[in-house]
Chain A
């Protein structure tokens, strides 16, 4: 009986001290989570815009336009996000373009993931059957209308599943903005670790929050979007 009681007390100790830890550091974790969510949201919007633009540009028959998209995609996919983040933060000011760290964070993440997304957009558009292009041509739709009304909606539906993965990557990528001291979840975890020396609790809690965010917010939202899109296209 004695050892079991001891074990119970020991477990209770850990348990209680973790609850204390949470109630003490909770507000900071919440602040960090809000900042991470903000960075996630803004960089997702930027990434989608960049991906659509660059993906469409890459399909252009104009060599200048195609080349521009190719350079953007290869540069951002060929180097690491961290390098890009530091470059934008430390080097761009030398060229007279100073961005606040908050803007630097989501701009770098958005541009980086946008380059990956551009490939998905290109693949999605190319996966639309040729007959759809021809049909739109046959009823003499303008190229812009054809793309906007016929091709893009179908392409969007085809590429939504890989976009779900990309959104998780994007969420993970936002953790890097802490390195230019944007006060996101990662940054708060580091600060808490520095002041309490409870590394397992500080970093572990942050890991769990990221996981919950990915698993219970981002993924279900993307699934829901897939269902809505499929229903709108009459494919449900």
Chain B
């Protein structure tokens, strides 16, 4: 290919692989936050209070329809204005976790609404507490239908981690920027970053499909 230098590519490979680990860690931590916080958002929309439902709903809509990169800047820069200093990693994880928790709450909501009404009534009949009803009966049944959406957002969060480079989180894109800037060679780092993303996200998407089919089969669905 035009002007492609293999020696340079091999020289920067270890550094990019190291950064890939950081990218995976960022995606993993962000996703962990999103999975928990998303459930909180989804459950908060099911309280008897209409006001709480409305407020949470609007917040979720707000997070979902504004750009993630702007939210990252917001979290990172607004803290110091009020005397709270956040490191790039912490700010990045909060922003990306919050962003995806809004998406995941929608996924959970769909799953929760798909649980048949009879299950709720049975719980009432058995005199189960609200917590027990949710954690022992409803959520286990709501999860499998949510898995497809959850898997898609896992790949989604992985593909959105390059945005963390804007506040200097040392992930793949940041490493490529740094290499490109100091060597004045952008062809190899950016191309290799693209290939890395393809090499991880395509098999991951495939694996998620397989896993989803396996869960459905295990639970005796369709």
List A residues at the B interface (Cβ < 8 Å): 74-75, 78-84, 86-87, 90-91, 94-95, 168, 171-176, 178-179, 186, 189-190, 193, 197-200, 203-204, 206-207, 210-211, 214-215
Question: Of the candidates B3, B82, B201, which one forms a contact with A79 in the assembled complex, judged by CB atoms under 8 Å apart?
Answer: B201
Closest to A75 in B: B198
Partner of A193, one of B2, B69, B77: B77
Which positions 64-107 of chain B face chain A at CB distance < 8 Å? 64-71, 73-74, 77-78, 80-82
* A211 to B71 alpha-carbon distance, docked (Å): 12
- Contact check: which of B69, B82, B159, B176 meets A186 at CB < 8 Å? B69
Between-chain CB contacts (< 8 Å), 24 pairs: A78-B198, A78-B201, A79-B197, A80-B161, A80-B162, A80-B163, A82-B165, A84-B194, A86-B186, A87-B194, A91-B186, A176-B67, A176-B69, A176-B163, A179-B69, A186-B70, A193-B73, A199-B78, A199-B80, A200-B82, A204-B78, A207-B70, A210-B70, A214-B65
In the assembled complex, the Cα of A207 lies from the Cα of B71 at a distance in Å of: 8
Chain A residues contacting B124 (CB-CB under 8 Å) are none
In the complex the two chains form, what is the Cα distance from A94 to B5 in whole Å? 13
Residues on A with C-beta less than 8 A from B201 are 78-79
| Separation of A49 and B104 alpha carbons in the complex (Å) | 30
* Complex Cα spacing A64 to B128, Å: 60
The number of chain B residues with a CB under 8 A from chain A is 41
With contact pairs A82-B162, A94-B2 given, residues A198 and B81 touching in the complex (Cβ less than 8 Å): yes
Q: Is the CB of B78 within 8 A of A172?
A: no
A75 surroundings in chain B (CB, below 8 A): 198
Shortest Cβ gap from B3 to chain A (Å): 6
Question: Across the interface, which residues of B come within 8 angstroms of A173, CB to CB?
Answer: 67
Contacts of B163 in A (CB 8 A): 80, 82, 176
Does B190 contact A86, Cβ atoms closer than 8 Å?
Answer: yes
Query: In the assembled complex, how far is the CB of residue B55 from the closest CB belonging to chain A, in whole angstroms?
Result: 15
| Chain B residues proximal to chain A, CB less than 8 Å | 2-3, 61-62, 64-71, 73-74, 77-78, 80-82, 159-163, 165-166, 173, 176-177, 180, 186-187, 190-191, 193-194, 197-198, 201-202, 205
Q: Which residues of A contact B193 (CB under 8 A)?
A: 83
Instruction: Assess the B77–A203 pair: CB atoms within 8 A.
Output: yes
A174 nearest CB across to chain B (Å): 8
A79 and B198 within 8 A (CB): yes
Q: Which residues of A contact B61 (CB under 8 A)?
A: 215
> Is B64 a contact of A168 with CB atoms below 8 Å?
yes
> Within the complex, what minimum Cβ distance (angstroms) separates B208 from chain A?
13
Give bound CA distance, A224 to B165, whole Å: 38
User: Which one of A86, A190, A204, A211 has the highest number of Cβ atoms from chain B below 10 Å of its Cβ?
Assistant: A86
Give the distance in Å from the alpha carbon of A78 to the alpha carbon of B198 in the complex.
5
Contact B187 A94 (CB under 8 A): yes
- Complex-state Cα separation, A78 to B203, whole angstroms: 10
- Chain B nearest CB from A218 CB (Å) reads 8
With most chain B CB atoms within 10 A of its CB, the pick from A168, A174, A176, A204 is: A176
Q: Which 8 A-B pairs have the closest CB atoms?
A: A175-B67, A199-B77, A214-B65, A90-B186, A79-B197, A82-B162, A203-B74, A172-B67
| Structural contact, B65 and A79, CB atoms closer than 8 A | no
Closest to A219 in B: B65
Pick the residue among B2, B65, B74, B202 that contacts A168 (CB under 8 A): B65
Residue in B2, B67, B194 whose CB lies within 8 Å of A210:
B67
| Closest residue on chain A to residue B165 by CB atoms | A82
Beyond A80-B161, A171-B67, 9 additional pairs, beta carbon < 8 A = A172-B66, A176-B163, A179-B69, A189-B73, A198-B81, A203-B73, A207-B62, A207-B71, A211-B62
B-side contacts of A91, CB under 8 Å: 186-187, 190-191
Give every chain A residue within 8 A of B180 (Cβ-Cβ).
90
- A226 CB, min distance to chain B CBs, angstroms: 18
Contact: A210 with B77, CB < 8 Å?
no
